[in-house]
Structures are given as structure tokens and as C-alpha cells.
Structure 1
Amino acid sequence: MYACERGALLTMETNTPQKTAERTTKLMAGGRRLAPLNILYFSQFLSAFADNMILFVTLAIIKANALPEFYIGVVQAAFLLSFVICAPFVGAFADRNYKSRVLLIGNGVKAIGMVLLMLGVDPALSYAVVGIGAAIYSPAKYGILPELTSGGQELLRANARMEGFTILAILTGSLCGGIVAESSLRLGMVLCVMLYVIALVVSLKIPYGSRNPAIRYGRELVIFFQDTTKLFRSRKTRFSLVGTGSFWMSSAVLRLALIAWVPVHLGLQSLDSISMLTAVTGIGIMAGSLATPKLVPAARYYNAWRFGGAMVVTMLLFPFLHLTAVTVGLLLVIGFAGGVFIVPMNTALQEEGQLSVGAGKTIAVQNLIENALMLLGVGIYTKITAWGASADASILGMAAVLAVMVLYLVMEARKLARA
């Protein structure tokens, strides 16, 4: 049955807008809408799995080439810089074209980045190309969700599942990356390319979605910054942008800091052991994402700030940890709190953004804010690490920054609750 439905949906390229709308309506009827969502989740899992394998493959390359320890931050910053530079354009690209085809292009560019790494191109440059692919991929990945759901609570559930599959990919991809990188770098790189190609092929089975051919890229740069201003003027979307940005900034810095923190506090040196510990956070985020609909209803998304506060408190304990079991428990707590923190705000942003500036453009603005903050955080981390700052200092500093942002969310949440 699924094959028949996909075959019908994939003939929409030459259809009129009316026929496209009719097929979209049929797709939304009954339980059949779950099929394209499941395909989207699977494609996202494969792509994100490879994304996270790359980090540990790259870390192994850095160690093999005797590059300075802080160079892993340079590589991560190159990836994030690609996101920031592409942000003003990729949202328009996602809205102008069929989103399932945009997913295909994004995975193709990621695969090219991995081929460059296999050919011996500098890890930072290769990872920057992967970042371009990820920047293309992201607006379409989230922008298509409102088209495959009926909004509200169903969109919240779809976001929760998307985050769940993403975090599962972070977990398993990090584990696999650490294990494979210890045994065979070449195998790790080949596996990443294969996964991107499979994700590319799978994306062919996702319904086209909507598009707006009238969009012109020449004027989109100005419009993008107008959209950014518009989203920040809305208290609801501003709250979500600050919340999701603060989460990803703290997560990016914490992940890098843990790579340096684990050998010092726990005495673990191998890449597979470090990858296992960093992946533990992913288990918590996945659990938190899936539990979100019961803990924070879509209509009260602003209550998610409480779980950001829980992240801050837990991060403050890390300088005092020396037992692996306790560390695992606290990483699970951080992950769970982070999952519940981010999902409601993603949902609120997508709902409001789709009505105001468009789904793809909203996600592109979100990517700009999140990746600019991550780039700032990773850049500061890389700089202070090069100066000799400890991993403890980095984690405490990130906890302080997150605390300031959560305090802002608390003040905004009170106003939103009264609105």
C-alpha cells in the first residue's frame, strides 16, 4: 500500500497547484499521513547518524596528524560558520522548492564533504562543506512537518519524535564513530558517505510538499533580515528563538568540553570510551523529547524554562565529579531536561512562524540564531582552551551564560502566561 501511495505522490512535479493541494488534502486524511512522517524520521536518523560519526572520525584524524587539541574546536567552528553564512538563503531555497528535494540536495552536499575528507582535504574545510549541506537540509526537515501534520498537539508530537530520532542518531552515531575511529578511519569515512547516499535515496519517497516559485533570491537577503526582525518583535517567537539558541549553544560547548573533561576527571583516554559518555546525554534528550507532550502541553510551551534551570544546576556539579557512574547519571539528567526544554519551543516557533513569515524562512532564522550562538560559544571555548583554561572552567562558564538566558525566559514566561 505504501508503494502505491508514494508512486502517486511522486508524480506531482508537473501537476497544477490545485491538483497538488488535492493530493495534500488526501495525504492528510486518515492515518496515511503517518507513512511520510516515518520515512522522514528514518531519513533524518541516517543523516544525523553520519553527522555525529564525522565528529569522532575527525577527532581521530586530528590526533593522528598531531594537531593541537583545540583544533577540534576550529573544525566545529567551521561547520557552524557554514550555517551562519548560508542562513539568509537556505530558508528561501526550502520555500521556493519542494522540500523533499531540498532534503536530497542537502544530503548530497554532505556526502561531497565526506569525500573531500577521504581525499585528504583539511578537516576544517571538509567539515565546512558538510555544514553547507546541513544548512540546506535543516529548513526543509522542519519546514515540511507542518505540511504533514494538522498542527497543534499533533505537530508537537511530530517535533518530539523528530527530536527523539535525531538524538537517537546522536547517541548511536557518536558511539559508532568512536568505536570505528579507533579501528579504521577509512572505514568510518566510507560508512558516512554510504549513510548520506542512503538518506538521499530514502528522501525520494517523501511527498514533495508545497513550494513557492515566485520567491527570488536577489531580494531574499533583505527580506530575511526583515523576517528576523519580525520574529523577534513577537514575544512568542522571540521566547522560542532565545530558548532554542541557548540550549544548542550550551550543548555544543558542553560536548567539546567533555572530550577534554573525561580524561582528567575519569581517567578514560580512548575515543570509544569518550564517545560512549558523550552519547549518554543523547539518551536523556531522547527520553525527554518523547516525554515532552505529557510534561509541557503545547499551549503552555513557556513553562519549558524550568527544565533549562535544571540543566544549569546539574552543570554546576561537574567540577566535583570523579566517579563514572555518577557522571552518567548527571548526563542523563542534563539530557532529559534539555529534551523537554527545547521541543515545546520548537513547536511554538514553527506554528507561529508558518503563519507570519513561512515555515522554511522561520527555520532559517532559527538556524542563524542557534548557529551564531553556537559559533560564539565554540569560538570562545576554543580561544580560552588555547590559552590554557581547564574544561571545568569552560563548563562553569557555560552554566553561567545559560543561567542568564534562563532568567530572561522566566521574565518572558510570566508575560506570556498573562497574554
Structure 2
Amino acid sequence: MNKNETTNEAVPLFNRGLTSVALAQFFSALADNALLFAILALAIKLEYASWIDPIFQLLFVGVYVITAPFVGSFADKFDKGKVMLISNGLKLVGSLLIFSGGNPFLGYVIVGLGAALYSPAKYGILGEVSHPGNLVKANGVIEASTIAAILIGAIAGGFAADHHTTFALGMCAALYFAALIANLYIPKLPAKNIEMSWHPNTMCKNFIQSLKVLLSDIDAKVSLLGTSLFWGAGITLRFLLIAWVPYVLNVVDKTTPSILNATVAIGIVIGSGLAAKFITLEKAKLALYAGVLMGICVVIAMLIEVRPEVLADGITHNLEFWAIQQALIPIHAMLILIGIFGGVFIVPLNALLQERGRDLIGVGKAIAAQNFSENSMMLFMLVFYTLFHSLGMSPNIMGIGFGGIFAITILIIIFKTMKNK
């Protein structure tokens, strides 16, 4: 081995770069998830119709789709640490706008713009602060950090929003500021493609070409489809649980659905750790089987009968709250399983896409293409969820249908992959 070669030991997993990225991601994702529940509580305070709730997320996701041709190039043209700093700055501005009484839709769009810029830089930087042999583990760290933030953010956001909406919004702004500070400790890194053209037509053509290149590679195509379905299913499940609580339990708070969403996050943290430890890049496509089990578990969860006689009627109080949690034990168990299978599913596919993307088109462009694909799927699923919800379809029926379709779709991908192999 010559002196220029780097080993796993020479670049430890938890070096300054990865630690700073993980902390910035934790605070930023924590604020993202708390902010959603704070905004939903604000929507109730402003007397918006219940079907308006997913509209906020549609706007957020729509920003990702619109900016997809440009954000990957932006991440590759500049130091990714600075890109993350700018992104969290935009999130801070958007959250402060909502906190100060400004238009919540506009504020959430600004937060979405920051998130869209942030994502390709966040994942693209992993290959620059980690040894290739540690890439799956680094992805596991970031996914675990993200899901831990979702777990804490969902509960904290729901609880704070139930008690004081303004405080919840201020807390989110403070968390974005903490993420911005963490970004300052990321080491300065060289830009990967400073000669890139800024002409919109050129960037769009390059983006379309990047998508074509990824979809022509079987490993990249499978991972792109898999991660897109995962995040589309994830965002739909989140709003299904938010709608399921008042429909089944006759409870109108935000704490209960936030706890249910946090339960899924606990499972994903466990699944992410299992995937990082036991699944290598060479075996990444085995994770598809976990996706099938995830869909089946969603169907089972929606079929579980919760006995209404032990539940509260209306706004929960302490005693009623614990009675509700006791009645929901079977649901919590299934949600943890959904999360575990989800974590095992997403981490290897993310790592595989980054590895193939780096080799084929560059990490920044690959992540931007991934964001476009994932958020297009989220947009697609959210549109149908909003439509069915506005038509009065029960959350149970929607959940059974979406879980079944998800499992069948992953099975089709598995069979197609086996056939191509």
C-alpha cells in the first residue's frame, strides 16, 4: 500500500466531517418534523378544512420536483458544507416568517426550497467525509440520525403544538439555527464541478440525460424505484395516521398521531442499524424483500380492530391518554415492524444508488435525480390521498389499498430484477 491510499482505519467513521454532518442533519430534520405538526395545529387554529393538511406537504414536495434539475448541479459546483449552510439559512427564514404571523403556505415553501437544496449536498458530502468502505455505515448513521430526529421531532412538535402553537413554531426556528451552527464545523471541501454551465436549458438537458443514464443501469434503476416507493409510502402513511386517529379514536389532538408516527421512526432506526451491520453493497438488492413485508404489515395494521369502549371521547387528558396508548399496543407493535422493514429496505438501496451514481454521473446529480424521482412519487401519492380523503374514503380502506399496492409493486420489481439477472 502506498502512502496516498486510504484505509477504513485511516479515515474513522466518526471523524469531524461526518459528526458535523450528522448533527446538522439531526437538528434540521428535527425542526422539519416538528414544524409539520406545528403548521397542522396552526391550520386548525386558523379554521382551515381538514383536507387542506396534505396541501402543505404537496407544496413542500412540489418545490423539490421543480428545483430538481438545478440543485444537484448547485451542490456539485460549490463546497457542499456551504451549500448546507445556505440551505439551513433558508429554512430558518421560512420558519421565522410563519412564526411572525406571515403566510404559512409561503413560509413552508421557503422551508421546502431550503430542504431541496440541502438534500443533494447532505448525501453527496458523505462520499467526501467517509471512506468508500464505510459508505453503507455512513448512510446508516445519517438515516439513524434522520429517523431519530423524526421520532423526537414528531412527539415534541405534536405535544408543543397541542399546548402552544406559537411556542412550537419558535422552537422550530431555534432548531434550524442550531443546524446552521453545526454546519459551520464541517471541514472545507473542494467543489466537484466548478466548470458547470448555469444556463437553465443546459442544466435541464443535463438533468434529463442524468436520469436516462441512471435508468439504463439496472442497479441504479432498482434502487431509484425502491427509494421512490419508500418515501411515497412513508409520506402517505404519515397522513393516514393523522387522519386515522380522529376517525377511529375520536381524538382530535396532534400528540397521539405524532406518537404513532414516532413509533414507525423507532422501527426505522432499528432497521437502519441492522442494514448497516449485515447488508453489504453487493447484497443491497436483497433489501427489496423487506419492502414486501413492510407493505403487508401496513395492511395488517389497518385490519386490527381497536376497541372503542376503552378510548377517550374528544380531547385527551392524562388518564385518557394512557388508556388510549394501552388500547393501541397492537397498532404500535405493527408500526414498529413497518419501521424495521422500512429501515432494512431504504439504507442499502440509498447506498447502492450513491455508489452507482458516483460512478455514472457524480453524486450530486445522482442525488438530485433521486430527489426528483422520490418527490414525484410522493407528490403522486399525496394527490391521490388528498383526493380520496376529500371524497370521504375511510383511512382504513386507503391504508389497506396503499399497503397492498406497495407490496405488489415491490414484488414486481423483484421478479423483473431476477428475470434481467
Q: Could you state the TM-score of these two structures normalised by the residue count of structure 1?
A: 0.90
The CA deviation at 1:120 is: 2.6
Instruction: Tell me what 1:43 maps to.
Output: 24
Partner of residue 180 from structure 2, selected from 174, 178, 200: 200
Q: Deviations over 1:163-187 (max 9, x none)?
A: 0000000000001001111111111
Instruction: Tell me what 1:358 maps to.
Output: 362
CA 236–26 in structure 1, closer or farther in 2 if over 3 Å, else same: closer
CA 318–31 in structure 1, closer or farther in 2 if over 3 Å, else same: closer
Instruction: Tell me what 1:265 maps to.
Output: 248
Q: Is the 8 A contact 1:244 1:346 kept in 2?
A: yes
Instruction: Tell me what 1:414 maps to.
Output: 418
Instruction: Tell me what 2:319 maps to.
Output: none
1:142 aligned onto 2:123:
yes
Q: Deviations over 1:360-398 (max 9, x none)?
A: 110000000000000110111111111111111221221
Which stretch has the larger CA shift, 259-268 or 200-209?
259-268
Q: Is the 8 A contact 2:71 2:120 kept in 1?
A: yes
Partner of residue 165 from structure 1, selected from 145, 149, 156: 145
Partner amino acid, structure 2, of 1:314: C
Q: Deviations over 1:287-333 (max 9, x none)?
A: 10011034422211110111101111111113322140000000000
The CA deviation at 1:344 is: 0.5
CA 26–324 in structure 1, closer or farther in 2 if over 3 Å, else same: closer
Q: Is the 8 A contact 1:33 1:148 kept in 2?
A: no
1:387 aligned onto 2:391:
yes
Task: Kindly report which structure 2 residues correspond to 1:361-380, keeping only aligned pairs within 5 A, or say none.
Answer: 361-380=365-384
**Aligned length in residues:** 395
CA 26–215 in structure 1, closer or farther in 2 if over 3 Å, else same: farther
Q: Is the 8 A contact 2:292 2:408 kept in 1?
A: no
Instruction: Tell me what 2:400 maps to.
Output: 396
Partner Cα separation in structure 2 for residue 413 and residue 300 of structure 1: 13
Q: Is the 8 A contact 1:239 1:412 kept in 2?
A: no
CA 397–26 in structure 1, closer or farther in 2 if over 3 Å, else same: closer
Partner of residue 279 from structure 1, selected from 258, 262, 265: 262
- The secondary structure found in structure 2 opposite 1:29 is coil
Partner of residue 95 from structure 1, selected from 76, 81, 90: 76
The CA deviation at 1:265 is: 2.5
Q: Is the 8 A contact 1:110 1:131 kept in 2?
A: yes
Partner Cα separation in structure 2 for residue 359 and residue 54 of structure 1: 29
Instruction: Tell me what 1:14 maps to.
Output: none
- The secondary structure found in structure 2 opposite 1:31 is coil
Partner amino acid, structure 2, of 1:36: G
Paired-residue identity, %: 36
Partner Cα separation in structure 2 for residue 324 and residue 33 of structure 1: 38
Partner of residue 104 from structure 1, selected from 64, 85, 88: 85
- The secondary structure found in structure 2 opposite 1:317 is helix
Partner of residue 76 from structure 1, selected from 48, 54, 57: 57
Q: Deviations over 1:331-370 (max 9, x none)?
A: 0000000000000000000011011111111000000000
Partner of residue 215 from structure 2, selected from 232, 240, 243: 232
Instruction: Tell me what 1:16 maps to.
Output: none
Instruction: Tell me what 1:250 maps to.
Output: 233
Partner amino acid, structure 2, of 1:76: Q
Q: Is the 8 A contact 2:94 2:108 kept in 1?
A: yes
Partner Cα separation in structure 1 for residue 390 and residue 295 of structure 2: 25
Partner amino acid, structure 2, of 1:220: M
CA 287–344 in structure 1, closer or farther in 2 if over 3 Å, else same: same
Which stretch has the larger CA shift, 222-231 or 391-400?
391-400
The CA deviation at 1:68 is: 0.6
Partner Cα separation in structure 2 for residue 162 and residue 245 of structure 1: 18
Which stretch has the larger CA shift, 308-317 or 366-375?
308-317
Partner Cα separation in structure 2 for residue 206 and residue 293 of structure 1: 23
Q: Deviations over 1:75-115 (max 9, x none)?
A: 11000001101111000000000000000011011111112
Partner of residue 163 from structure 2, selected from 165, 183, 195: 183
Task: Kindly report which structure 2 residues correspond to 1:305-320, keeping only aligned pairs within 5 A, or say none.
Answer: 305-320=288-303
Long gaps (5+) in structure 2? 307-326
1:85 aligned onto 2:66:
yes
CA 326–27 in structure 1, closer or farther in 2 if over 3 Å, else same: closer
Partner Cα separation in structure 1 for residue 4 and residue 48 of structure 2: 54
Q: Deviations over 1:114-135 (max 9, x none)?
A: 1221233332222111111000
Partner Cα separation in structure 2 for residue 27 and residue 189 of structure 1: 42
Q: Is the 8 A contact 1:266 1:324 kept in 2?
A: no
Which stretch has the larger CA shift, 199-208 or 325-334?
199-208
The CA deviation at 1:34 is: 1.8
1:220 aligned onto 2:224:
no
Instruction: Tell me what 1:4 maps to.
Output: none
Partner Cα separation in structure 2 for residue 310 and residue 48 of structure 1: 26
Partner Cα separation in structure 2 for residue 306 and residue 289 of structure 1: 15
